[in-house]
Structure 1
């Protein structure tokens, strides 16, 4: 250890990897920290999976990366030496302090730890404060990416926040529960198809990269995970005049899945049930269909027809 600067030498760091179950357990115990399963605190302890995730993100030295639910920092610490900057968001006070110590020990001054609930943080402000000049650096600047093992209970609201926000995010490589990955990739007509599926198809081109066994985490969760790549589109594949209205219709369609689309939409706006039936018929949608059978194009047509009614 370099005592003057608090930085470990290369030999020490080989023994102090947060992906080592033994080392991770030691540093957690030293700080009286215990992973909270209820909050999705299952930490990656497999270097092979870690490298596959980072490789999938195709990181370049001038890229900027956001890691959400960073925990003890497996992803953040591994990425910080490869890019222009990493912002690691962690709500848990003990884990955020631990990650800060790990970054200092490794001399990773491009890693910025932000403690807080990502749902309430102004990520746009935080990124511009940390990276203002780089983020607005023009053609020579890198891309802004999200690479994270996302907390399972935050997936839908978090992806809405990231994809509808002001940050110029180009790519997301995220590890989620396998069931959530299936919902992201689902197509109309399947039981997994829902608001999350429509959201990801509207803003991105989603791809399943690989599945991840539950046994590569500490502690082991009850289900397997998967890594999904979301390549953010320059423009949505459908055009709507009122995005707020579009998302109201999408949410209403899936709110009560057993309802027909006519009954699901009745009560939205000032239109009568008969008016909604006419709109549906003009869009070529049977009033007896259910919301999970509607494609992105059909939702867009429905939104436009309602907007113009």
Structure 2
């Protein structure tokens, strides 16, 4: 190890053994979906990991781009704002509820990755203001009331990606909000949420659009307000249209073929070959069938959204 080295401009990479995901593809495909829908997300790849001078084979790992200043510059054109990694606390199913005025509540949950030596007030007063704004904003006017703090349309896209990919441990996870970074732009109040660790995605082919939205202050307001709910459902249809071309299934098949032989001889994996193969078969089935399932779910919930989209597609095709 030599201090100061970088790899293609990256000062660090993150290794994930994917022991929560027998297919080893969930994280990679989810991040790819975010980027396809215009949401900056860490780049992913698979590696064979060798350890020590004897180059002992330690198996296949998912390698992820670190959410760092390098990532911020590449995706947002700046790196001098405030970056936080969210740390969910045990038995704390937080979903943007206002915990009160005590800044101490935020300290263990929002770990600073930049400006680490700033005062507690400088670090956390703006985060508290964001949470308070989410709670105070009337659901009928989220965009204008939150415009100084959060882009609601971008958030809706992130929400739609996670629902389409059937993520159970994300913005509206089964244990509250989880697996994201918060970045506040330099000299502004506006923040963005950056996805992280998506290996609990692709959980269910049938996840409904409303899954767990009632358990988060912001997503409940989005779901309960027709114009935002319809925007969210329309975004789900956008994703379904994109995936229907077959690119996600093709990418899943490509990655499976790329890593299969190395996974088969992985000495440390907790999964059998059958586990790996069956999990990948489901991933490809998910990519193939999930778009139509989402369409029918949207159609049953909001036929006006579905029919309006269908009419628009017919008009463009003429």
TM range (shorter): 0.3 to 0.5
Q: TM-score, normalized by length of structure 1?
A: 0.32
Q: TM-score, normalized by length of structure 2?
A: 0.32
